Amino acid sequence: MNGRIALVTGAGSGLGAAISRRLAADGTHVIVNDLNPESAAKVAADIGGEAAPFDVTGSAAFTAAVEGVVNRHGRIDVLVNNAGIVHDRPDVRERSMANMAARMEGRPVEPTGATSSLTDEQWDRMIKTHLYGTFYGTRAALRHMEPARAGWIVNLASIYGIVGSPGTSDYSAAKGGIVLFTKSVGREVAALGIHVNAVAPGFIDTPLLEPMADMRPMLEMQIPSGRLGEAEEVANLVRFLASDEASYCFGDVLTLTGGYSI
């Protein structure tokens, strides 16, 4: 990884920050993206990288950011599409928890309204942040990787993009789109020596899970290992896919779930 140039999105905290630190530890020069300029600057300063605050849902902004990386460094070797969101919907969460208790006690469940009350704005923001952002970044990076016949793109999917999630259909749809987008593009550019792969984590202890803190004991009960994953464990797998060690990975989606059934 020594001397490679990488852009990591959504890297001001959580998984993105852990991925940035892991890549930097192996000698990669990391451009740290985040919607929050202060968060991006802090992580970049910690690892000796660069900050690049922009919104991944903006096609022109993402293209300009990648062009800027290439103009400054002559190339882009690695792109990690990590930026993501979750919607905090406490009413749906409370009804879901009540239904879990009802099932355990043999009582009838009530409608959660998770999908029927989802707004257009919530749906659009979820799809644009995850799926559009991944597309915009991949397209911009490939414009430089294809002529160079080299490059590594790692997309962050989710186990919910494979098995689905009751209560977060928008998130599952976005992550499921990333899974098949990765498989398709990975096959498309494999013969050029470009590696496009994805990581599909299970439940990872990051700030994105903070709104669901009251559900943590129930989540841990579903995981055979008995615990949530750590951001550094995801970062290790991303680092693998962004390196020569993943020389036979093209369009692959690797999971790490603590044994959570898929």
Higher pLDDT, 104 or 150: 150
Nearest to 223 by CA among 198, 174, 256: 256
Query: How is domain 5-256 classified at the CATH fold level?
Result: Rossmann fold (3.40.50)
Summarize pLDDT for 197-255 with one digit per residue, the tens. 999 998 888 877 776 666 677 777 777 787 888 999 999 999 999 999 999 999 999 99
Q: Where are the domains of the chain?
A: 5-256
262 has pLDDT over 80: no
**Rounded-to-integer distance, Cα 40 and Cα 60, Å:** 20
Residue 228, φ and ψ in degrees, nearest 5? -75, 155
30 and 23 Cβ atoms separated by less than 8 Å: yes
- How long a stretch of residues is the chain? 262
The CA distance from 137 to 80, in Å, is 9
Q: What is the pLDDT of residues 118-135, one digit of tens each?
A: 999 999 999 999 999 999
Question: Which pLDDT score is estimated for 95?
Answer: 84
Catalytic residues: 171
- Assign 42 to helix, strand or coil: helix
